[in-house]
Structure 1
Amino acid sequence: MPLTDPDEVFYAETAREMLDRDEFLTPYIFGEPQFEKPPLYYWLILISFKALGVNEFSARLPSALLGILGIIGIYLLGKLFVNKKVGFFSALMLLTSAFFLVLARACVIDMLLGVSILYVFLFFFYGKFSSSGKTKYYLLSAVFLALATLAKGPIGIFLPVATIGIYLIATRDLRSLKEIPIFRGIAILFLISAPWYFLMYKAHGKEFIDMFFGFHNITRFIHPEHAWGDTFYYYAPVFLAGFLPWSIFLPVAAWVAFTEKDEKIKKANVFFITWFLVTFLFFSLSRTKLPTYIFPIFPAVALFTGRLWDSYSGEGRQKLHKSIRISLYIFLAALIGGIVAFYVVSRVRYPAIAGSVLFYGGIFLVLITIFVVALSKKHYAVSLAAFMAAFTMLAISLSYKILPEIGRYESSKVVSLKLMELATPEEIIGAETQYRRGVAFYTGREDVPDVHKHHIITTLLSKPERVWCVIKEKNHIQLYSDPKRHYYKPTYVIYQLGKKVILTNNPPAGVPILKVRTKDEPY
């Protein structure tokens, strides 16, 4: 599947430009320094590019490997807090949750942050619960705290430290602070993370401080970058959809936690809930929101829900059977609605896969129905086989049929390859903000002007030499139809894929023209 716009190509293009420049300190994009994120994720992609070449697989490989580490980490943390079964069920739930399946194969930074925080907690509690070697574990926790800081800046410190602090207060266990080598931990944190920040300040001065800390960490927290996501409840549906199919069981998991008798497990639940609330509330309070930001809560929720299935597989099976069965049938109803909705959307946006959605969705629904009915009738071997078959089929159909076709529309790869056929190296290629990163990555160009504003695109198209632009079709229409903004010269649509069009001011001889737009014929 191609790298999608605009986020995957942002990280991949930054790493590619760093590799081309042999630059390991300053992240670059479009030939200019960019200060949006610290370097750790770029370094991982860069290493992958060096080993395997610049391609989609190598761009996504770090997230996939981090996903494996995440599954191992959540198993170990569940085992540490409760038992092996909780570790196993928690790992299984995280592995099969919708959000994890997406992010473990996506070139985005959130898997790195989530896994780093997970290992901060894992080694912290290894230190807390161990009878010997405590210092070693606490210092390893500090190492991952530093890595979280190199992954995403100050929140890499704030989220785990705030979570642990509130947990210790809630459980009246502040005396544990006495055994933590705090000053050595701080020293490790600074030794690992501070050099990059110092060298960036030395290289770029006040611009780095203003952009990295001022704009990307403070301004974006208090002012929305994307107005469409500026609601406090934004992450509630994202979380519930992202944790499917297991979010259906959260009410039952909450009831199990509320009625828990074991003091050790009660404290574990307090930590899982604290982890969830600190992260969820922090990102909900932030005015700039993106769905992937809340990935760090998913291990916490998987651990919380893993205890439910531990109870169901043990002494609490009879007590929980009715509640589980009700949740399963709710899930089945929701699944039917989801498949129908996806089919309707695919017919409009991705018509080539509408039939596949219906076919594979139908098979998936049959297998999940078998799973639900078998589990409700206590045929556990049949239910497990149906569940594994359903998700194996889902993974195969998504990987080889559905996602590649969606990627054609949600990525700039196809239009970029077309541009490489059409444009000579000397001809300018401009693109709207959403497509600019993808065009830069897939054409290998750094100089891709951003044509998102009317005066920029009209200035570019007015040049006497041939230029090319990738924009939304509606914005091409707007170029002529807006009475307040007059543009009179003709433009030529050479290629269209979904809502994206390639247009030029001077088509090459012999190249087919799909549409011509002028002031007299804007549509």
Structure 2
Amino acid sequence: MSRHVLILGLVCFLTFFAGLGRGAIGDSDEAFYAEAAREMVHSGDWLTPHYNYELRFQKPILFYWFVAVAYKAAGVGEAAARVPSALAGLGLSLLTYLVGRRWFDAATGFFAATIVATSFGYFSIGRLSLPDLPLAFFIAAATWGLIEGVGVPLAAPAVSPARRRTWLACAAVMMGLGLLAKGPVALVLPMLAVAPVWWKERPSGRAGDVVGWQPRVTDVLLVAGLVTLVAAPWFLAMLQHHGPAYIHRFFVGENLERFATDRYNDPRPFWFYVPIVLGGLLPWSPFILLWLPTWRRVFSGTRLVTRAEWRAILWAAVPLVFYSLSIGKQPRYILPMLPPMALLLARSVLARLPDAPVRMPRQTALAWCGTLSALILFTLGVLLHRARPLLFALTPSLALVGSGVITIAAVSVLVASWSRRRWALPVTLAAASIATLLSLQYSVATAADLEPVQVMARTYTAVYHGEPSATHRVFVRNLVFYTGVKQTDLVEPAAVVAFLQQSTRVLCVITRDDLDRLTRDHGLQTRTLAEVQYFNPAGVRLRTLLWPDPSRDLETVLLVTNQ
């Protein structure tokens, strides 16, 4: 076990922590949490989150506390803002190992944990200051605890009620922390996942059946009490300070309406999460094809699904179905289903790796899945090479090295796919994934100097003298993090015109295209104080990757004043 944990620790260091501070805080949701935690440390108000020096009621407090503590320990910066997410990635990998070791065997747990640590989905979210990966950890830990608390023991002949209650208590604490991190979904998903497991493994009373366990009222009260003990004090304090408006805004607006309406997210089709899951599991997702012959044997009655496999299937299915039924969908919502998916993938791959010889008969299905993974990595390397004209802020040599490393990794996986050595493909693909992820981190997210928003912020602070300041459609969320100055978000063009036509001096950050259009239509008189070239990731389309065009895909961002 210690050897497995040490190796997983090294893998997680490379995929979650190496270069964590590279890349500016993005003009995205990440800026909300990084900046709100900075304002928390600066103001000393550890009860109510503030963003852009205004109340922020959208999310509970726990993730802000995590980031604020990191700021206190290491100073305000990109790495400190992202450490809680990286730690959650490490925790999810280790938790997957422990679950796999307990439900299956050590090899399955270790392989599944490696899949979690090297999957593109967890890598990308683990390097952003967002509460979603910590939430996924709390949900995964709570789900495991509830299943162990009410399910039939898989290894030991019996589990004492006291030990079951320990599992339930741990699950309750995790649900309480998840409630403090993101909201009621931390209660809903574990409960929905454990319900069919309990129903399937409940006491039947038939002779010869494995004896299940029937939770008592005291067990339910234990779970409810611990969840309340962990989460209620902060919500009650917020109720006391801000009244019922906060409770209504958070529980109804930020949870019920976000799930059931399109107020916050555009409606997306029911199948929206299928490609998201496949992309999040890359480069391992092609091995899902190995499930097809297994399920064919299951449906024909020649293979039974084990109790541990049923648990993993139900655990993975609940988040997928739950979020697929929602109106407002976001890709990162589906993160809690990746650990059980990794367990099932690990079982499928290991089943095709015979124990006995070092050189085994060629596994054609496994080889073709590995070949598909190699082609995906090769395509990624080609796209990175083609995108170099857009990555103007990067060191050119690093972009070339990155695409070269990814290409070599793809070729290595292709060779290993058709090797007859037992561990050649899993080990090579894990190493190739690490090399690919680090290449992306140190090429795409590594600027030769300051990034555009940091350059703009440096000039801004040099010319700022207390005048009103605003942004329009660019650096809307992250400029305040680097300037420490409240920014007005001018959403409509008319608001920009009115702002720049004031008689007193103002500052505005706006793209050249938007300013030229408003100047042409309204005769604005402005003076440019600074300009930077900016590649907006939110504007990336398939065309951008296949046929990059700097004149079309790059924006010129201006800092202007009306005097």
**TM above 0.5, one fold?**
yes
CA distance in 1, matches of 2:130, 2:343: 24
Question: What does the per-residue CA deviation read over 1:160-201, in whole Å, with 9 as the maximum and x for residues that have no partner?
Answer: 111111333355669634368111111111111122222212
Superposition map of 1:85-484 within 5 A: 85-127=107-149, 128=151, 129=153, 131-132=159-160, 133-170=163-200, 176-178=213-215, 181-225=219-263, 230-256=268-294, 259=297, 266-314=306-354, 321-348=363-390, 350=392, 352=394, 356-380=398-422, 383=425, 386-387=428-429, 389-405=431-447, 412-424=453-465, 426-432=466-472, 435-445=475-485, 447-481=486-520
Report sequence identity in percent: 26
Q: Is the contact made by 2:472 and 2:490 (CA closer than 8 Å) also made in structure 1?
A: yes
What residue number does 1:503 align with?
A: 559
CA distance in 2, matches of 1:170, 1:478: 64
SS at match of 2:488: coil
Q: CA RMSD in A?
A: 2.9
Structure 1 spans left out of the alignment, 5+ residues = 508-523
Structure 1 window deviating more from structure 2 (294-303 vs 489-498): it is 489-498
CA distance in 2, matches of 1:163, 1:370: 39
The CA deviation at 1:73 is: 0.5
The CA deviation at 1:269 is: 2.3
CA distance in 2, matches of 1:304, 1:258: 16
CA distance in 1, matches of 2:505, 2:114: 55
The CA deviation at 1:229 is: 6.0
SS at match of 1:44: helix
The CA deviation at 1:487 is: 4.5
SS at match of 1:71: helix
CA distance in 2, matches of 1:137, 1:274: 19
* Equivalenced residues, count: 500
CA distance in 2, matches of 1:257, 1:107: 39
Structure 1 window deviating more from structure 2 (37-46 vs 277-286): it is 277-286
The CA deviation at 1:24 is: 1.7
SS at match of 1:469: strand
Q: Is the contact made by 2:349 and 2:366 (CA closer than 8 Å) also made in structure 1?
A: no
What residue number does 1:62 align with?
A: 84
Q: Is the contact made by 2:412 and 2:432 (CA closer than 8 Å) also made in structure 1?
A: no
The CA deviation at 1:455 is: 2.8
Letter in 2 for 1:131: V
Letter in 1 for 2:319: T
Question: What does the per-residue CA deviation read over 1:34-86, in whole Å, with 9 as the maximum and x for residues that have no partner?
Answer: 11111111111111111111111111111111211111111001111111111
Given the two structures, how large is their TM-score scaled by the length of structure 2? 0.81
Q: Is the contact made by 1:347 and 1:354 (CA closer than 8 Å) also made in structure 2?
A: no
CA distance in 2, matches of 1:478, 1:210: 41
SS at match of 1:233: helix
CA distance in 1, matches of 2:79, 2:516: 36
What residue number does 1:518 align with?
A: none
Structure 2 spans left out of the alignment, 5+ residues = 1-21, 205-211, 535-554
CA distance in 1, matches of 2:345, 2:377: 20
Q: Is the contact made by 1:416 and 1:439 (CA closer than 8 Å) also made in structure 2?
A: yes
